[in-house]
């Protein structure tokens, strides 16, 4: 992560607060994913049938965020030095919402491989993951990562702890590093360094960690990057 993380700036604090309000106004559409909720269907977390249904319905659920998505794609294009477009037939970048129910808990130790679950119009390379923090609880919002755990070793830990309620307790603390997110900043990385939503402590009642979330890769023949959720 320390080698492949890029950071850009998308919106000021006022704009972020406004976008976070629009997300929280859509609470009826949130999907409970355990420690967090999503707004929008995610290829990495939905069944193929659920994903298809949510993509078909996404203009209703995520239509209001086109302005934000356009800005994210523009800034990401400058960061990656390429044009960035929406991947056809896939989900728009969506949102993770973490509330007080996740107080004192972290996300799962994982690597990102959502590209296995979407349709690619041609060959692609260099998959990436991105996060834009829109709202934070007072304790802060961050990502834990383990740069010194290689991909194969990470997969072994993931398989061993899968379906285990101990998965969180078993997360290695040795070598764990923290990237503290700033509101309005966009973080882009390969997703191949093992990582987890960090436990930053107490999330108060009515406080939320709201992030725009997505993935992407370079379309080799088209010479641009495409993003999805």
* Shortest CB 196 distance to ligand AKG, Å: 7
Give contact residues for ligand AKG (rule: CB under 6 A). 96, 112, 129, 131, 143, 195, 197, 211, 213
Comparison of 86 and 211: residue with beta carbon closer to ligand AKG: 211
Q: Which does 145 bind (CB under 5 to 8 A by kind): Fe ion, ligand AKG, none?
A: none
Q: Which does 213 bind (CB under 5 to 8 A by kind): ligand AKG, Fe ion, none?
A: ligand AKG
Q: Which does 58 bind (CB under 5 to 8 A by kind): Fe ion, ligand AKG, none?
A: none
* Shortest CB 185 distance to ligand AKG, Å: 12
Comparison of 86 and 129: residue with beta carbon closer to ligand AKG: 129
Span interacting with Fe ion, options 105-113, 115-123, 175-183, 206-214, rule CB under 5 A = 105-113
* β-pair type (224-228, 84-86): parallel
* Shortest CB 105 distance to ligand AKG, Å: 13
Comparison of 7 and 53: residue with beta carbon closer to Fe ion: 7
* Shortest CB 221 distance to ligand AKG, Å: 27
3-state secondary structure the chain: CCCCCEEEECCCHHHHHHHHHHHHCCHHHCEECCCCEEECCCCCCCCHHHHHHHHHCHHHHHHHHHHHHHHHHHHHHHHHCCCEEECCCCCCCEEEEECHHHCCCCCCCECCCHHHHCCCCCCEEEEEEEEEEEECCCCCCEEEECCCCCHHHHHHHHHHHCCCCCCCCCCCCCCCEEEECCCCEEEEECCCCCEEECCCCCCCCCCCEEEEEEEEEEECCCCEEEEEC
| Residue nearest ligand AKG by beta-carbon distance | 143
* Shortest CB 15 distance to ligand AKG, Å: 19
Binding of residue 4 to Fe ion (CB under 5 A): no
Q: Torsion angle, CA of 36/34/174/8, rounded to 10 degrees? A: -20
Comparison of 80 and 200: residue with beta carbon closer to ligand AKG: 200
CB-based contacts of 207, cutoff 8 Å, min separation 6: 99, 100, 137, 138
Binders of Fe ion in range 112-151 (CB under 5 A): 112
Interacting residue ranges for Fe ion, rule: CB under 5 A: 112
């Amino acid at each position: 992560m320390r080698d492949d993380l890029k950071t850009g700036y998308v919106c000021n604090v006022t704009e972020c607060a406004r976008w976070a309000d629009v997300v929280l106004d859509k609470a009826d559409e949130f999907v409970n994913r355990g420690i967090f909720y999503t707004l929008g269907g995610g290829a990495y977390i939905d069944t193929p049938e659920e994903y298809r249904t949510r993509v078909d319905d996404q203009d209703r659920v995520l239509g209001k965020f086109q302005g934000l998505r356009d800005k994210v794609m523009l800034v990401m294009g400058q960061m990656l030095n390429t044009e960035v477009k929406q991947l056809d037939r896939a989900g728009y970048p969506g949102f993770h919402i973490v509330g007080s129910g996740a107080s004192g808990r972290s996300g799962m130790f994982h690597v990102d491989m959502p590209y296995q679950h979407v349709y690619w119009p041609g060959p692609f390379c260099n998959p990436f993951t991105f996060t834009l923090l829109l709202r934070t609880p007072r304790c802060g919002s961050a990502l834990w990562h383990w740069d010194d755990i290689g991909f194969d070793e990470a997969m072994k830990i993931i398989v061993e702890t899968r379906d285990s309620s101990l998965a969180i307790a078993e997360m290695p603390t040795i070598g764990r590093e923290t990237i503290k997110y700033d509101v309005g900043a966009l973080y882009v990385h390969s997703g191949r360094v093992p990582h987890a939503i960090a436990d930053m402590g107490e999330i108060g009642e009515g406080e939320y960690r709201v992030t725009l979330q997505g993935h992407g890769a370079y379309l080799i023949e088209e010479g641009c990057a495409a993003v999805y959720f």
